[in-house]
Amino acid sequence: MMLSKTSEYALRSLMYLALQATKEHKVGIKEISQELDLPMHFTGKILQDLVRKGLVASLKGPNGGFFLNHPASTITIMDVIKVVDGGEAFKRCGLGMNKCSDTHPCPLHEDFKVFRDGLARVFNQKTIHDLVQEVGTGHAFIKNLVEVS
Amino acid sequence: MMLSKTSEYALRSLMYLALQATKEHKVGIKEISQELDLPMHFTGKILQDLVRKGLVASLKGPNGGFFLNHPASTITIMDVIKVVDGGEAFKRCGLGMNKCSDTHPCPLHEDFKVFRDGLARVFNQKTIHDLVQEVGTGHAFIKNLVEVS
DNA sequence: CACATAAAGCATATAAATATCCTTTAATCC
DNA sequence: GGATTAAAGGATATTTATATGCTTTATGTG
Ligand code: FES
Ligand code: FES
């Protein structure tokens, strides 16, 4: 019922980059992982992967770091999921049958499809830009709420 | 975006039991795993777990096997998921934030919640009996479609 | 050029999910 | 009671996801 952590981390990192990074002001792994409460090295791995796949660019050295390679409005959520997890999850049968098919459906098919495909549609339409817009207006957050003890 | 394989196997095994097993005619692991294309030993483990949790009963020896401990109409999909996976998945934030909350939402919250909660509602309402009914009428299947090469 | 910085690359570690194997126990049949 | 059947139980194996550490390479600074 969810994305892998890798996808989640990737999406949140990309949102952070969209908000904070420009080609002039790059952002490093340390900052991202600290601000978003993500495991640092693992986040690094994921971002390096996104660089290889072309979604993100990076530069080494002082003032180096990561930044978006394309406008945030051109990167959909599904783009990210596909790069990271490989987008097969949205085709699978909800009961794990070898094939999800309208002509040989499992007893959950109709109900499951509605939600699976609905979520896929949202993921296909929404871009990183759409997401961060809500953060910009203060209607949403990408940083964890800190528990006050 | 999906259940664990363990939950999937559990649900399909329970459906098979609902269809094929009675207290008089029990069904063994071998039959279940062969008919449903499931790994035999793993399926055994899962069923033993369901016995411990009270959803299924079993008897050893010749003519032994598994059968439902309660009427199929009293076992919801969510009951099974909770026993097997522990039902936390339906409370998690879609972007993996430490807490899913209406007052500190992630940018995906509204969209994600609709589907997550919708699916949870279906899982809470549908019982094993509802599922197998569709199989009985030939509208749905629990066995894999065999590929003809 | 020497040095500091930060990502890239790669190797490895840990944990969880998935899967198999083997021994033990209970039931049935003769 | 002895043989057979089938689940229970527990140990172990494999795979995948998640996470960390260390070395190398590129970049900028003085
Ligand atoms: S066949 Fe199971 S979800 Fe489509
Ligand atoms: S806060 Fe992310 S889904 Fe609710």
Read off the DSSP letter of residue B89.
G
pLDDT at B58 over 80: yes
pTM metric for this prediction: 0.93
Residue A86's pLDDT is: 85
Is the pLDDT at B145 greater than 90? The verdict is no
Q: What is the pLDDT of residue B2?
A: 84
Per-residue pLDDT for A79 more than 90?
A: yes
Nearest nucleotide (C1') to the CA of residue A58?
C7
Within 7 Å: CB of A20 and strand C?
A: no
Amino acid at position A78, single letter: M
Q: Can you give the pLDDT at residue A147?
A: 64
Q: Is B97 in the pocket of ligand 2 (CB under 6 A)?
A: yes
Q: In this structure, what token pair is assigned to residue A65?
A: 């770091």
Reported as type and span, the H/E element at residue B43 is: helix B40-52
pLDDT reading at A1 higher than 70: no
pLDDT in tens, A23-40: 889 999 999 999 999 999
Domains of chain B (ranges plus CATH)?
5-84+127-136 (1.10.10.10)
Q: Considering only CB atoms, which chain A residues are within 8 Å of B11?
A: 95
**Cβ pair A14, A55 in contact under 8 A:** yes
Q: How many beta carbons lie within 10 A of that of residue B137, not counting itself?
A: 8
**A contact residues 6-45, partner B, Cβ 8 Å cutoff:** 8-9, 11-12, 15, 37
What average pLDDT does the segment B92-110 reach? 95
- Report yes or no: A12 and B95 within 8 Å, Cβ to Cβ: yes
Using one digit for the tens of pLDDT, what is the confidence trace for A54-66?
999 999 988 889 9
CA–C1' gap, B137 and D17, in angstroms: 40
DSSP letters spanning chain A: ----HHHHHHHHHHHHHHHH--SSS-B-HHHHHHHHT--HHHHHHHHHHHHHTTSEEEE-STT-EEEESS-GGG-BHHHHHHHHT-S-GGGS-TT--S---SSS--TTHHHHHHHHHHHHHHHHH-BHHHHHHHHHTTS--SSPPPPP-
Q: Which residues of A touch B95 (CB under 8 A)?
A: 3, 8, 11-12, 142
pLDDT at residue B147, as a whole number = 66
Residues of chain B (15-74) having a beta carbon less than 7 angstroms from strand C: 39-42, 44-45, 59-64
Percent of chain A with pLDDT strictly greater than 70? 97
B115, pLDDT greater than 80: yes
| CA distances, A75 to each of A12, A124, A132, B5, B114 (Å) | 13, 9, 12, 31, 23
Average pLDDT over residues A110-131: 96
